[in-house]
Chains A and B, each alone.
Chain A
């Protein structure tokens, strides 16, 4: 089977200056005093795994284990210090909803702005526009500036834009369930639909039951390293025992 995501020996190191230097003066003084020391923080250490086409891969681990960093590396937002990541096909990273929303612009303008930022083409957005508006249940508010929306409405709009696309590779940081109880149920269904429709999914969650239910394989990250990877049931069981 075709490999969609290939993570090869990825290490991510952050240099943390002993005091975050953000002015030329501070930099010059620290340099002159020879105090320009960096503490290295290794967020990911030699992580390797791959995800095959159509597979739903779960990513579990404690806070600070490196899950979000790994997602950012795979999405191309961070460049790994070492190693390489190859992603085939078009990717829809859903790390945040409503990226680039401008609260002074109308809902309609924001659909196009946010859609463009997510990498949709103009034709695609035009053809899906009605669907997005219908799903978001915004109704006549669509031509009002976002600043007049309730936070639930903003979240619904953001969710509707983000999930209108059926990508080849979907990267999800926590299942996004937004709005009131009814819409939460609707958005959960949409996510499940997206994730079960033959799409390759890389999925981070703290809800271990959800992971077990959804994923075929699971990678368990701990302190930036792959603690264990394998079939979903086995890893989830181990993970639960260790906590």
Chain B
């Protein structure tokens, strides 16, 4: 191994690490300081009746976080335009007024949650019970709104009746009603994460640096280790890998008229078809549906293409493996890199559709680098696992065909996440592809950084699968040639 070249490479990698860490810190900014939380509401089934002057409605609520920013409320206008003012007041159990906010009734939409921000953020105790009081001025029968209430939650396609204690029900002039008001309290939670950010980044860097130093010593003594493998990949085998990638690429589009253009036409056409088919079903639930669709398709396609290419990398190169010596990992790595080139090309139509739909280009797009790196690690791990399995059992590719289809349906590509029944959500969120795709969509569509937890999930799932893949591959690679 060329030590000088490798040293340079390590320096470049270290610089990339710090640049990425700084980018994430700068772009993510507020998302790392605070996280927005909202209390849950029941589903709207009925109303409390016209809210006119002299009527007082109260509802017990729980503060979802230590800072309250406002509340969401679902009103019914009876299909007419009303006027007047709605007074909302929050009082704690000690009887102290915490916040008060007036709302122009004319602004309330029909049967939709409407966010009413507090003029000033107030500090409370998270989990503290509060009483919300609603009164009006200038409202008479025929010129008033009403508030939705309910006593069920939706679980899948069913409504489940909740038992609500008397204290939790709303009251009208002191008389308890049948359910709870459709009101969500918004708050923000202060995260301690940002204070520890550089500590975590620095700690991880020190750990990595120590590991590299350990490997460096090993490499000097002539041992083989991941550091040597990575350095060789860039130095000695760089030329070979470039040749293999360009071969894969040429082989893919040989004798096709449009050639490389297919790399971005393909996702674009898939998106168009799915847009036509599903827009009637899901469009209203998903803001910016075309970008939602295309981002899902592009990310998932990279995953499924890279894994299936990587899976056949050993069996497909049998004639080479039996006749020429080169490190076995070259084969899956070159296949994954050629999929990565495709992925990069598929990003172009995504940017195009973002332009057309008027999606804002925000600095949050830089965070996609982190997301893509995690996805790359995950894909590499999966490929290494499957190509090992594939060498010993040819069934793997058929099994993978079914599994990848299932995986596609389990990931929200063309449908909104909200159609998944609440009780399955915990399991549903464990899908790493869900994590990577949701991460990307938050950056692209919402233009903000995901929560710190999303970063943690992405990096953990990526590292675990990559580690498993490397270990499995390493353990069995000497036997591959005997099974080809």
Residues of A within 8 A of B (CB): 14-15, 22-25, 27, 72, 75-79, 93, 95-96, 99-100, 102, 104-105, 109, 112-113, 116-119, 121-122
The distance from the CB of B148 to the nearest CB of chain A, in whole angstroms, is: 55
* B324 contacts across to A, CB distance below 8 A: 77, 93, 95-96, 99-100, 117-118
* A105 contacts across to B, CB distance below 8 A: 247, 250
The distance from the CB of B257 to the nearest CB of chain A, in whole angstroms, is: 15
Q: Which of B314-345 contact A (CB under 8 A)?
A: 319-326
* B240 contacts across to A, CB distance below 8 A: 116-117, 119
B251 within 8 A of A: yes
10 cross-chain CB contacts under 8 A: A22-B483, A77-B321, A93-B324, A93-B325, A99-B323, A100-B247, A102-B250, A102-B251, A109-B250, A117-B240
17 more contacts with CB within 8 A, not counting A78-B482, A102-B251, are A22-B483, A23-B393, A24-B393, A27-B393, A72-B322, A77-B325, A78-B481, A99-B319, A99-B324, A102-B247, A104-B250, A109-B247, A113-B244, A116-B244, A117-B243, A118-B324, A122-B239
> Assuming the A-B contacts A104-B254, A116-B240, A122-B239, are A77 and B394 also in contact, with contact meaning beta carbons closer than 8 angstroms in the complex?
no
* A75 contacts across to B, CB distance below 8 A: 325
Cross-chain contact of B478 among A23, A24, A79 (Cβ < 8 A)? A79
Alpha-carbon gap, A113 to B483, bound state (A): 26
Query: Are A116 and B243 neighbours in the complex by a CB distance under 8 Å?
Result: yes
The 8 closest A-B pairs by CB, nearest first: A76-B325, A116-B243, A116-B240, A96-B323, A79-B478, A122-B239, A104-B254, A113-B243
B395 within 8 A of A: yes
Alpha-carbon gap, A107 to B400, bound state (A): 36
Q: What string of 1s and 0s marks CB contacts (under 8 Å) between B235-252 and chain A?
A: 000011011101100110
Q: How many residues of B contact A (CB 8 A)?
A: 27
Alpha-carbon gap, A23 to B391, bound state (A): 10
Query: Are A22 and B325 neighbours in the complex by a CB distance under 8 Å?
Result: no
Query: Are A100 and B320 neighbours in the complex by a CB distance under 8 Å?
Result: yes
* B320 contacts across to A, CB distance below 8 A: 99-100, 117
* A95 contacts across to B, CB distance below 8 A: 323-324
The distance from the CB of A74 to the nearest CB of chain B, in whole angstroms, is: 10
The residue in chain A whose Cβ has the minimal distance to the Cβ of B323 is A96
Alpha-carbon gap, A117 to B241, bound state (A): 9
> Assuming the A-B contacts A102-B251, A104-B254, are A25 and B395 also in contact, with contact meaning beta carbons closer than 8 angstroms in the complex?
yes
Alpha-carbon gap, A25 to B394, bound state (A): 11
Alpha-carbon gap, A24 to B240, bound state (A): 34
B interface secondary structure, majority:
helix
Alpha-carbon gap, A106 to B421, bound state (A): 56
The residue in chain B whose Cβ has the minimal distance to the Cβ of A76 is B325
Alpha-carbon gap, A96 to B482, bound state (A): 18
Cross-chain contact of A117 among B326, B392, B481, B483 (Cβ < 8 A)? B326
Query: Are B482 and A14 neighbours in the complex by a CB distance under 8 Å?
Result: yes
The distance from the CB of B235 to the nearest CB of chain A, in whole angstroms, is: 10
> Assuming the A-B contacts A77-B321, A116-B240, A117-B324, are A23 and B247 also in contact, with contact meaning beta carbons closer than 8 angstroms in the complex?
no
* A96 contacts across to B, CB distance below 8 A: 323-324
* B326 contacts across to A, CB distance below 8 A: 117, 119
* A27 contacts across to B, CB distance below 8 A: 393
The distance from the CB of B105 to the nearest CB of chain A, in whole angstroms, is: 67
Alpha-carbon gap, A105 to B248, bound state (A): 11
* A77 contacts across to B, CB distance below 8 A: 321-325, 481
Query: Are B243 and A23 neighbours in the complex by a CB distance under 8 Å?
Result: no
* B395 contacts across to A, CB distance below 8 A: 23-25
> Assuming the A-B contacts A14-B482, A23-B393, A122-B239, are A113 and B247 also in contact, with contact meaning beta carbons closer than 8 angstroms in the complex?
yes
Alpha-carbon gap, A121 to B238, bound state (A): 9
The residue in chain A whose Cβ has the minimal distance to the Cβ of B324 is A99
Alpha-carbon gap, A102 to B319, bound state (A): 12
Alpha-carbon gap, A72 to B251, bound state (A): 29
Alpha-carbon gap, A161 to B392, bound state (A): 34
The residue in chain B whose Cβ has the minimal distance to the Cβ of A20 is B483
Query: Are B481 and A22 neighbours in the complex by a CB distance under 8 Å?
Result: no
* B478 contacts across to A, CB distance below 8 A: 79
The residue in chain A whose Cβ has the minimal distance to the Cβ of B325 is A76
Query: Which of B321, B324, B393 has the most chain A CB atoms inside 10 A of its CB?
Result: B324
The residue in chain B whose Cβ has the minimal distance to the Cβ of A121 is B239
Alpha-carbon gap, A27 to B322, bound state (A): 24
Q: What string of 1s and 0s marks CB contacts (under 8 Å) between B416-442 and chain A?
A: 000000000000000000000000000
* B481 contacts across to A, CB distance below 8 A: 77-78
* B483 contacts across to A, CB distance below 8 A: 22
The distance from the CB of B116 to the nearest CB of chain A, in whole angstroms, is: 59
The residue in chain A whose Cβ has the minimal distance to the Cβ of B321 is A77
Alpha-carbon gap, A221 to B288, bound state (A): 73
Alpha-carbon gap, A23 to B390, bound state (A): 10
* A122 contacts across to B, CB distance below 8 A: 239
The distance from the CB of B270 to the nearest CB of chain A, in whole angstroms, is: 26
* B255 contacts across to A, CB distance below 8 A: 104
The residue in chain A whose Cβ has the minimal distance to the Cβ of B399 is A24
Cross-chain contact of A116 among B239, B251, B323, B394 (Cβ < 8 A)? B239
The residue in chain B whose Cβ has the minimal distance to the Cβ of A98 is B323
